[in-house]
Structure 1
Amino acid sequence: MKTILVLFALVAAVVAQKEPWCRCGIFINFDDEQELVYTLENIIIDDCVASAEACKTGCAAEINEFTNDGDLWSLTSSGETVGQAICTKMAAAEHHHSHHYIHNRNVYGYFGLCAGPWEYADVKSQQMLCCEDGVHAHCHN
């Protein structure tokens, strides 16, 4: 009985030490999948149960700050457009499915609470994203 109580206490201690996290990402919808194309800094939250709204609003604010409220032609702190930052990531060889050409795709902001699924953060780009051989380009129909 004492062994079971000690084991229970150890499991409870390990579970209590898990640090909650909130991840923020930018996605593009393709015909057959949704793909994470850019990740941003994690948001600090208190716990994995009561912090869903804090995670969502924190990620929305971070994504809106990075994209200047969804403007893909806005310049990032490194001097490239938001769209170019995404196109560069999409064309990189280490990206899951490197995409050199993207035509007329909206960009969406999502949040992920702890080990849960990605959820829409009510953030959408102002313009469609187009990448021509990894270079951010104006979209033409």
Structure 2
Amino acid sequence: MHRLSLIAALAALATAACAPEEAPPPMTVGDTPTSARTPDGAFISWREHLIDDPATTGVAGRGSDGLGVADQDGAGLEDIVSVHESDTSYDGEADGHVRIAFASDDPDVWTNVTLAEGLEAAAPEDVDIADIDGDGHPDVIVAAELAHLIY
């Protein structure tokens, strides 16, 4: 009887030792190691840069929906135009924001301005950038769901 108990205990121990280990939780993109390198050997990795946020700009842009990227001010840096579709579906107000974030040499420093807001930009959905009037400078074109096409 003692021998059977010993065999059963050894079998249970062997089964437990062969059971698959619990997998570690998945890593986020920011925490995932990378082997990607530039030609000079430096690692390529992701770093988040806060560009336009109510906590830093004081503008309550909600429902950010579209982005356009172009050098808007001729500084040689890519600026970002964003449309924020705050509308009756989000907060009961038919308003929105069209914003531009002017880049600087420091990726953590942006100058943010509002191009259009309120009923003029009610629920802006899409943005594009092109030289509409042929003056050689990029123009911002916005389609607003609850307003009109503006540039």
> What is the TM-score when the length of structure 2 is the normalising length?
0.27
Q: Which has the higher contact order (CA 8 A, sep 6+)?
A: 1
